[in-house]
Amino acid sequence: MLTMAYEAYQENRILDARHQYEKVLNRQPRNRDALLGLASVAVSQGRRDEARALYRRQLEADPKDGVAQTGLLSLLSTGDPVANESLIKQMLREHGETAYLRFALGNVYAAQSRWEEARRSYFRAYSAAPRNANYLFNLAVSLDHLHQDRMALQYYRWALDQARGQAVRFDLEGARQRIRALSSSVTEGAS
Confidence of residue 189 (pLDDT cuts 50, 70, 90): low
Residue 104 within a domain: no
Domain count within the chain: 1
Residue 22 within a domain: yes
Domain residue limits at 45: 1-62
Residue-wise pLDDT for 32-53, tens only, equals: 999 999 999 999 898 988 998 9
Residue 56 within a domain: yes
Residues 85, 111: contact at Cβ < 8 Å? no
- Domain CATH for 52: 1.25.40.10
- The percent of residues in the chain predicted with pLDDT above 70, rounded, is 96
Residue-wise pLDDT for 114-137, tens only, equals: 999 999 999 999 999 999 999 999
Is 0.85 surpassed by the pTM of this model? no
Concatenating the DSSP letter of every residue in 69-110 gives: HHHHHHT-SS--HHHHHHHHHHHHHHH-S-HHHHHHHHHHHH
Residue 17 within a domain: yes
How many CA atoms lie within 13 Å of 125's alpha carbon, on the beta-carbon side?
Answer: 25
Residue 15 within a domain: yes
Residues 70, 87: contact at Cβ < 8 Å? no
Residue 36 within a domain: yes
Residues 121, 156: contact at Cβ < 8 Å? no
Per residue in 31-41, is it b (16+ CB within 10 Å) or e — as a string? bebbbbbbbbb
Residue 85 within a domain: no
Phi, psi of 148 (to 5 degrees): -100, 70
Residue 150 within a domain: no
